[in-house]
Amino acid sequence: METHKIEDLDQFIRLWTSIYTDQGKVDWSHILPYYHENIFFKDCIQEIRGIEEFTAMTERLTGRSKNLSFLIHSSAMVENRIYMEWEMIIAYKKYPSSSVYGSSRLTLEDGKIMEQRDYYDLWGDIFDNIPFMHKRYRRFMKKKFG
């Protein structure tokens, strides 16, 4: 029986970057076994517990996009944690491509991803790609939060 454990950063990068095929399709099947059955995932949109919910989330993301790619700009592994800065380029079915920039912190337990926390500015990155929205959104954010 094959055990799926993340041993080092190079292995993780190979697994993570091969989620996205050359045709822009997403295939998570090879990396899902490296997630713990009790995975806790959180980002700015959702909080998910368990591999079934996590798998369903990956399928929703795949279904919403016509093209998806992922670049890792930097990464590090410190003890049982992996940190990475990334860029996800997504083309939704009716809209042009948009880049979303973010970072992730993954916590390993016995070589499996037990927790994944993603940090990104979804709306800012999307609105930056819409000409009439970019300046309005940034002006609003600066006025209310800056």
What is the model's pLDDT at position 130? 73
Would you say residue 110 has pLDDT above 80? yes
Which residue range forms the structural domain that includes residue 55?
9-145
Say if CB 113 and CB 36 are below 8 A apart: yes
The answer to whether residue 49 is domain-embedded is yes
**Cα 24 from chain centroid?**
15
Total-model pTM: 0.83
Say if CB 106 and CB 55 are below 8 A apart: no
Comparing 75-89, 101-115, 121-135, which segment has the lowest mean pLDDT? 121-135
Dihedral of the alpha carbons of 5, 102, 45, 128, in degrees to the nearest 10: -150
Mean pLDDT (whole number) for 18-28: 71
The answer to whether residue 121 is domain-embedded is yes
What is the model's pLDDT at position 131? 75
Mean pLDDT (whole number) for 64-75: 83
Please give the tally of structural domains in the chain. Answer: 1
The answer to whether residue 118 is domain-embedded is yes
The answer to whether residue 4 is domain-embedded is no
Provide the CATH number for the domain around residue 129: 3.10.450.50
Structure-model confidence comparison of residues 21 and 7, the more confident one? 7
Please state whether beta strands 35-42 and 97-109 pair in parallel, antiparallel, or not at all (unpaired). Answer: unpaired
Mean pLDDT (whole number) for 42-59: 94
The answer to whether residue 134 is domain-embedded is yes
The answer to whether residue 2 is domain-embedded is no
Distance between CA atoms of residues 32 and 116, nearest Å: 13
Out of 9-18, 55-64, 137-146, give the one with best mean pLDDT: 9-18
Say if CB 50 and CB 38 are below 8 A apart: yes
Strand partners, 77: 82
**Three-state DSSP class for residue 134:** helix
